[in-house]
Amino acid sequence: MRLTLVFLFCLLATFITCQSVTIEYPMYPPTKEGRDLKQFLNGVKTIAFVLEPMNSEIWNYESNRSFVLMVPGKIYENLSQDSFFKILDLKDRVDVIEEKDLTLEGIQKNRKKIEKILDADVVLYVSVKQPESQCYVETKMDYIALGMAVLRVAAGAKNSEDRARIVAAIANDPIMKPTGVRKVYIPLEANLIRTDSGEMMKTILSKPSIIYNGVGDVSCPSMLPSLSTALDESISEIQRRLSPKAESEDISIFTEDENPEVEALLLEGYEEITGENPNFQRAKSAWEKADLKAKGKSWAAKANLATYYFSEGDYQKAVQFYDEAIRLGSPEDDYLKELKELMTTHPIEEEAKEE
């Protein structure tokens, strides 16, 4: 980890001066898209998930009916597993929103209610339309046949008769073979809607998934497994575009101050996040009291509050408090500046254009 030096800081100080805790925080991609997402999701902790009810046209084929049954749970489970955010499923939550209102307009109309009842900061609204599929045949390399050909060549040919046998064997089992391919396109649109302001961020997936049969099998790959693979790829793309990865760091919590009352409050905050029932909110309250008691002059209180906002994904406030701690003459200036680097916008990389 980038912050392994935290342990050296703690060893150089007395035990009561510097403790460390593991903080989970959102990591956004170093792209313009990631920068915009970081700004949009600043301070967000809870997201309500909504899947738009699917049109009856999708139910025309048996495989599509199975696909419809698969979609809601597959999207929700995958998003919940790897997301930094807490994901709440709005399915069957008629106490929050009625099924007739599961539209973008309905979400906008009910967003304040969703915020109040679920304490959700954002709604993720996903719309899936009827999949499109196309089958064709493409020449693929058979690596097993290639390996056998290499072995035959390596074994060598002592005479023209041996060479003829090798050529005949390769001709009978060619390296390049026609193979069945299914191209699947799942029209999918995902919208993030902030419950406080109604502001939206949208992404549309338009890249098809390519599924190959076994090399040499010219039949079209089965529909349902192909749909499942295409859906997995679409979900991964949603996560890449609309959900930051969860990362973690061991970060110092400072508990020393010249004022005994301030020091007691700093330590109280630390104990709130390391006890049997860790509570960062109560820790924040203790550090705010320490800051108030010190009349804004405790760099340790500022640094600890910055770490709280860091853990909440509110980078703007975190940077503000780290800056204040540094201006107060913190003896850990270099360390606090390193923490700030985790929250500053990375240089924007040129995004590859989709074909």
Q: Do domains 6-26+247-343 and 42-129+186-242 have the same CATH topology?
A: no
Token couple for 99? 């099924």
| pLDDT at residue 118 is higher than 80 | yes
pLDDT above 90 for 13: no
The stretch 78-86 carries a mean pLDDT of 81
Given this model, what pLDDT does residue 284 score? 93
Task: Measure the CA–CA gap between 101 and 2, rounded to whole angstroms.
Answer: 46
212-234 per-position pLDDT tens digit: 998 889 999 998 899 899 999 99
pLDDT of residue 170: 56
* Average pLDDT estimate for 130-150: 80
Q: Tokens for 260, please give them.
A: 């005994």
Query: How far, in Å, CA of 116 to CA of 134, rounded?
Result: 46
Which tokens sit at 209? 């998934």
Can you state the angle between helices 62-82 and 223-242, rounded to 10 degrees?
30
pLDDT score recorded for residue 117 = 93
- Highest mean pLDDT (candidates 18-32, 43-57, 113-127, 301-315): 113-127
Residue 132 sits at φ, ψ, to 5 deg, of -120, 140
Q: Cα separation of 165 and 170, whole Å? A: 9
**Does residue 146 surpass a pLDDT of 90?**
no
- The runs of H, that is alpha helices, within 15-159 are 32-40, 62-82, 104-118, 143-155
* Rounded mean pLDDT, 285-303: 94
* CA–CA dist 262, 269 (Å, integer): 11
> How many helices (H) and strands (E) are present in the chain, helices listed first?
12, 10
Domain edges within the chain: 6-26+247-343, 42-129+186-242, 135-180
Q: What is the pLDDT of residue 244?
A: 83
CA dist list (Å): 181 to 303, 317, 330: 57, 51, 62
pLDDT at position 109 over 90: yes
CATH architecture, domain 42-129+186-242: 3-Layer(aba) Sandwich (3.40)
Question: Tens digits of per-residue pLDDT, 187-209?
Answer: 899 999 999 999 999 999 888 99
Q: What is the CATH number of domain 6-26+247-343?
A: 1.25.40.10
- Strands 46-51, 122-128: pairing is parallel
Q: What is the pLDDT of residues 322-336, one digit of tens each?
A: 999 999 988 888 888
Q: Give the Cα separation of 153 and 159 in Å (integer).
A: 13
Summarize the confidence of residues 234-254 as an average pLDDT: 86
Query: Quick one: pLDDT at residue 69?
Result: 80
- Sign, CA torsion 277/280/281/283: positive
Please compute the mean of the pLDDT values over residues 231-256 and round it to a whole number.
86
> Could you tell me what percent of the chain has a pLDDT over 90?
36
At residue 292 the predicted structure's pLDDT band, cuts being 50, 70 and 90, is: very high
- Which whole number is the average pLDDT over 19-45? 83
Q: Which residues contact 248 (CB under 8 A, 6 or more apart)?
A: 22, 23, 24, 25
What is the chain's length?
Answer: 355
pLDDT of residue 239: 84
pTM beyond 0.85: no
Six token digits for residue 263: 């020091």
Which residues does residue 134 pair with via DSSP β-bridges, in sequence order? 183
pLDDT band at residue 124 using 50, 70 and 90 as cut-offs: very high
The average confidence (pLDDT) of the chain is 82
Spatial distance between the Cα atoms of 301 and 255, rounded to a whole number of angstroms:
8
Closest by Cα among 226, 301, 298, 293 to 261: 293
Of the pLDDT bands very low, low, confident and very high (cuts 50, 70, 90), residue 122 is very high
Average pLDDT for 138-158:
68
